A and B are shown apart, each in its own frame.
Chain A
């Protein structure tokens, strides 16, 4: 309880500090977050909740996800995220973390696909258990090097498709991922933009999702970030946990190779 109070106080203080700093020195925001995160991150709440979800019995089969194989054997979560997306021979396809969790919920717990993907994204004031689960699992890769492989032909294919989608410009505004994420040191309004084709930037970005977002008051997964990017890109709505998102994730994760994973983080 004392821990909770401390975190709450921290959140309020952080909101205020960031506002003040944003007004005086917009460009250096990133560093403020980096320093403050060392005092604690509200995402820890979501990690705690995620642990409960991971261990909780659910579905018609009334079993927990602890039998789920995320790539390093049933129940192993340590280090799995830095190797995802990857090819899973049982499903015969490349999956990112959230597609794999859906696979486990349907095959192990016996849920339907629709049940397995219900409320996957947090909205302000309504935190998603899926993003909590993702926070818990990703946190178990902290300090490890990004090491996504392209050994299997389908892994290579996912990477190449992600690359195609990254460069695909279309729609009313002619936008593609490439419009905002292929140059160093640019920003939209005050939001700095990562150059996802530059390994240093790709590492710094990919290794810090999921993140507790001050502007949203919730933890967002990489999946959630990509979905909202595509909305701002003036594309139609992309389906949650679809292969398009896995392909884009594969492209970014590979570009971030060697980066030290350090999330859930905290961002604007």
Chain B
């Protein structure tokens, strides 16, 4: 009987090992597929997608496991440290420019030209104002964002950091890290800030 149990345990162990070994192979094999099947073009390189940072690596692995609260907190803390705030506390640019950035979906696609200015494509995922009905719903509505939250230093700072690096507040958020990844410039983020927070912005009407 003892021997039988021993056999069972060792069988279970070997099955366990086999499956985890195979899992690893799939990951390595998937990377090989990316290497062999993708070609750098325009502003997008294969090297960039092969080189995942810690956040990308961690979030990709949530495929077959649940993340823990501690892990999420570690991601948020680490990412919050990457945020560069604007000089002299000047947070707000021009909401009219912000509106253009919100509607511009260009940037980072191989069909985009190298060196052209990126957009933020905020409308892709968020409602912003009443006039534009073609908005996406992957993110929450930002209609009356500033009107509902006021204009305290804390709100400015939080909003800046959220645009700069969304992972600083929600680990594995779907939102791009616009400042951290260099998608938007500091000046462009100021314009988007004005769109969200200026009292005369269409967002706050």
Residues of A within 8 A of B (CB): 26, 157, 160-161, 163-176, 178-180, 183, 185-191, 193, 231-232, 234-239, 242-245, 247
Interface majority SS (helix, strand, loop, mixed), chain A: mixed
Contacts A161-B33, A172-B183 known; A237 to B136 CB distance under 8 Å?
no
Q: Which of A163, A164, A180, A189 contacts B123 (CB 8 A)?
A: A189
The answer on a CB contact under 8 Å between B63 and A167 is yes
| A261–B96 CA distance with the chains assembled, in angstroms | 47
At the interface, yes or no: B29 with Cβ under 8 Å from chain A? yes
At the interface, yes or no: B15 with Cβ under 8 Å from chain A? no
The answer on a CB contact under 8 Å between B110 and A236 is yes
19 A-B residue pairings within 8 Å (CB atoms): A26-B133, A164-B63, A165-B30, A167-B60, A167-B61, A170-B52, A171-B48, A172-B108, A172-B181, A174-B177, A178-B63, A179-B138, A188-B138, A189-B123, A231-B109, A234-B44, A237-B38, A237-B40, A237-B44
The answer on a CB contact under 8 Å between A188 and B124 is yes
Bits for B108-119, please: 1 = Cβ < 8 Å to A, else 0.
111100000000
Q: Smallest CB–CB gap between A65 and chain B, Å?
A: 25
Contacts A172-B176, A239-B38 known; A167 to B124 CB distance under 8 Å?
no
The answer on a CB contact under 8 Å between A171 and B108 is yes
Q: Smallest CB–CB gap between B98 and chain A, Å?
A: 18
Residue in chain B with minimal CB distance to A245: B37
The answer on a CB contact under 8 Å between A236 and B60 is no
Residues in A neighbouring B27, C-beta threshold 8 A: 164
Total inter-chain residue pairs, C-beta < 8 Å:
133
| A186–B127 CA distance with the chains assembled, in angstroms | 13
Residues in B neighbouring A245, C-beta threshold 8 A: 37
Residues in B neighbouring A163, C-beta threshold 8 A: 26, 63
| A245–B33 CA distance with the chains assembled, in angstroms | 10
The answer on a CB contact under 8 Å between B55 and A237 is no
The answer on a CB contact under 8 Å between A231 and B124 is no
At the interface, yes or no: B80 with Cβ under 8 Å from chain A? no
Q: Smallest CB–CB gap between A254 and chain B, Å?
A: 15
Contacts A180-B138, A235-B49 known; A244 to B111 CB distance under 8 Å?
no
The answer on a CB contact under 8 Å between B37 and A239 is yes
Residues in B neighbouring A235, C-beta threshold 8 A: 38, 44, 49
The answer on a CB contact under 8 Å between B45 and A189 is no
At the interface, yes or no: B56 with Cβ under 8 Å from chain A? yes
Q: Which of A170, A180, A193, A244 contacts B56 (CB 8 A)?
A: A170
Q: Smallest CB–CB gap between B163 and chain A, Å?
A: 14
The answer on a CB contact under 8 Å between A168 and B39 is no
Contacts A188-B136, A189-B134 known; A237 to B59 CB distance under 8 Å?
no
| A163–B30 CA distance with the chains assembled, in angstroms | 9
Q: Across the A-B interface, give the 3 residue pairs with the lowest CB-CB distance, nearest first.
A: A164-B30, A242-B37, A167-B63
The answer on a CB contact under 8 Å between A187 and B136 is yes
